[in-house]
Structure 1
Amino acid sequence: MTYRKIPGAALGAAPEATDAATPPEEDLSLQVTRRPRPGRWLAVLAAALFTVWLAYTVIVSPNLHWDIVAKYQFDAVILNGLAVTIQLTLVSMALGIVIGVLVAVMQLSDSPVLRLTAGAYTWFFRGTPLLVQLIFWFNLALIFPVISIGVPFDGPKLISWQSNQVITGFVAALLGLSINEGAYMAEIVRAGIQSVDPGQREAGASIGMSNRQILSRIILPQAMRVIIPPFGNQFISMLKTTSLVSVIAGADLMTVSQHLYLANFEVVALLLVASLWYLVLTTIASIGQHAVERRYSPGAAPPLRRRVLANLVPGRDRKEAAA
């Protein structure tokens, strides 16, 4: 990017003779011109041609059975699985946020017991595969056939349930996804809290605010600028991670797609149906993430061109150049 002076607009040049009653005005106009970059246009052209060729090959391929894809895209069974996927994502992320905030506060606590407990939690659930955790929760009845509430050890039981009746595929998926997500959210929230200047906490304490008030009214609102981007990535990742629930028959989108292609042997077509819905969900989530990031980042730097112009044009014209 180069900058070319417009005739008569030289910075610091002596103004021409004018009427004595009229003060001279400096013409500080700048015209921005871009250097030609033929290599960039060639790369864009090559990428466009490749994209068109790939799209044409996929569309006209007789092995993809697009008629089957169109038939099942809005099928009631697929839509029910889609609803379960959305429900699992929203509830798991909500529980994961609650767990993550609590564990992050424990990690930053002055109590060594709380710090050790929080560290052990994040160490274990981030260190073991999510697939293993889902299978473990689904087979919890092998360890605890009966879930009961009462006096510990051999005391009387007030109420009890059969584990197989309580830990269904959906409940097991919810436990596995939310507890695992809580471990990752704890690290995200902890990083966000530590990014806030410690003086903010001291300022809140100086006016008599409690630790809970300081955390909820001062620390967390300021930490949101650091928390939101990785949280959005985690939400999008959770949408796709729910597909692992298919190993425990969780009735999600991937599970019902598998049931359908095992019945009609249209494996590729049903996988395309599921993939298209995942793309729709992640696209919507990405748009929402971008909007939330703009909401919590009002002071983001302007594009390079506006920043350069704002620095070059002094005084009263700087705001106009940055607009």
Structure 2
Amino acid sequence: MTVPTAEFDSRPDDSAFPALVADTRAKEAACARTGGAVRRTLNSATVARDMDVIRAVLRERKLNFLGYGDATYTGAVYGTLFPRRMDRSVLDSSRNPEVDWRGQYKSQAYAIRDNVDAWAAWAGRRDGHFGLGTSGRRVIASVERAADSLAETPVGYMDRTGFDAAVGALAADRTQWDELGDLVSALVHRPGDPDTERRANAALQPWEEPEGELRPGAVEAATCEDDWPTDMAVYREDMRRFKEKYPYGLGVLRAQPWVCAFRSFTPSERPPYIRNSGYPKGLVVHAEGNPVLRHAGGRAMAERLGHRLVTVADDGSNDVYAVRGNRCVDARVTTYLLTGVLPRRAETVCAGAPRPDVPADRGR
């Protein structure tokens, strides 16, 4: 375990970069001391082989797989390595088989910005209600005015970094688009109002504490199965670009150095090329506005494997089946898991959670 020395900032100055590099290097060194040789074997292929051992111990001829998020990649690897032992497969909120781990992380910033731009366009058609401007571009300008003000003078516990995090989180959840609009409006027009401070504090995103050291250490080792850039100039330039274009939802985190830039081991093997060599077609479920795993990645996985795609339209959920109460998704996935019957179409579109009932301006 290491203690970071760099101050956390969603839009860091270049002067913070050396400390970020030092913190990341120290973290990898600590992982090497505690994880030792086992880290080189923590990768997608070895996890897939462990799954097959469990299948054999249970005396099951074939494996049925339901995976969420990054686990979808493990399921796809299992099908690649053991196509004759894969039966039904549901990949909910899928990784993109066409990008490496670093590309996957960077795509989170793109997805978050997609959501923010969609919200801004919606708010721009409701300038009479929010007063943020009559177009998406003007709404973003209002967001930036709020960010600039918070960088100088926090409101309650909210500074610019907390604001950037809140904008990304609230933009993903369509049901909270009005809350985001009201927050930005209050920060722009009434920064000293007690109600604005209440809104700002309520919008702050809670930080999740790790559930112990095993999970973070395993994730850090597994993501090093890919080769990451070792030239720190690559990360410096990406961070400069990301803090300008993708500040919301802490997009710069997706561009800064990761422990794999200082990888202290050689992986036991490389990730296999994902393919379907004959196991039954399955399902990929993906929300259109997923901020963690971009929808384009789910589509790419469905196309690569020949699976059916279930898209949740205009929705920013990560993990959908049996989690969000979406009857359209739940019915189709449950039917497939119980009977093996897939939707007829290559892509089924289910409605997501409705946007807030805020009337658009007349003529908009």
Which structure has greater helix proportion?
1
TM-score, normalised by the number of residues in structure 2: 0.21
TM-score, normalised by the number of residues in structure 1: 0.22
The structure with the largest alpha-carbon Rg is 1
